[in-house]
Copies of this chain bind each other. A is one copy, B any other.
Amino acid sequence: MKIGKATIPESAICTSDDETIVVRGENLCRDLIGKLGFVDYFFLLITGRRPDAAASRVLDATLVAIAEHGLVPSVQASRMTLAAAPDALQGAVAAGILGCGSVILGASETAGRMFARIDKLANERALALDAAAEVVVRELRAAGQAVPGYGHPLHKARDPRVARLFEVAAEAGTAGRFRAIAESVEQVLPAITGRELRLNVSAAIPAVLLDVGFPLDALRGVPILARTAGLIGHLTEELAQPIGFALSYQATRELRYTGALPEGWTPKTET
């Protein structure tokens, strides 16, 4: 069935014959394997060009920053899935990645889009960053939307990863406009929301990446790739020392059933 107009698929990423594999215009075996690092290759795959030194360093730092933060919900989902289907590691990784949504890890993309709007607005209307940030945050609030990338359930002061990522970005000599935009949002938030919501890692990541030319549309890919590494670490541990079912047991120890019961029935040992 034909859906849409295009019928001849095109791609600019990879071609090959039986001797040579070409990726983004380069000879994979001769020029990339063992010569270009995996993180730089990830940048090349996405953008079609090799990263400069600053982009390479910053991208690598963001991947390390977000790969692992313990038994967060998506890791629990992944370990429970492996416990139930131990033959299909890829299925457990997929289950974990499916939690990289708008609320948690995907916030990197949403925050990046907010920063890009502030940048554009400041440029178009010749506004100071704080003024542009205030406009955009007020618009989000008026539309009933959350401000992505601020506040953290555990790190009430600034998430420690934020300072470190900003430090790496500064050391790498990046321009810092998007870091400044991220901080301008942090500054206007208390007056608008009545709460001290500090920058978290999901805002720091797009701030430092947009400063090195990483594309907006690929931002969600950074936490996804990083968490895949973290998930594989957890799943390797799960294969050796399973806790998936123990987690699910603990999760429901205080579960309350709030529905109806059949007439005259009371549970002997509720579960």
A interface list, Cβ under 8 A from B = 1-4, 6-34, 36-39, 41-42, 45-46, 48, 57, 60-61, 63-65, 67-74, 76-78, 80-81, 83-95, 97-106, 109, 153-157, 160-161, 163-165, 167-168, 171, 215, 217-218, 220-221, 224-226, 228-230, 232-237, 239-262, 265, 267-271
Interchain CB contact under 8 A, A13 and B57: no
On whether the beta carbons of B224 and A160 are closer than 8 Å, the reply is no
CB pair A70–B267 under 8 Å, yes or no, is no
Number of copies: 4
Q: Is the CB of B61 within 8 A of A85?
A: no
Contact between chains at A16 and B99 (CB < 8 Å): no
In the complex, which of the residues B32, B217, B259 contacts A25, with contact meaning CB atoms closer than 8 Å?
B259
Partner of A100, one of B70, B90, B261: B90
Complex A-B, nearest 8 residue pairs according to Cβ-Cβ distance, in ascending order: A85-B101, A25-B260, A45-B233, A12-B259, A221-B232, A34-B168, A77-B77, A94-B94
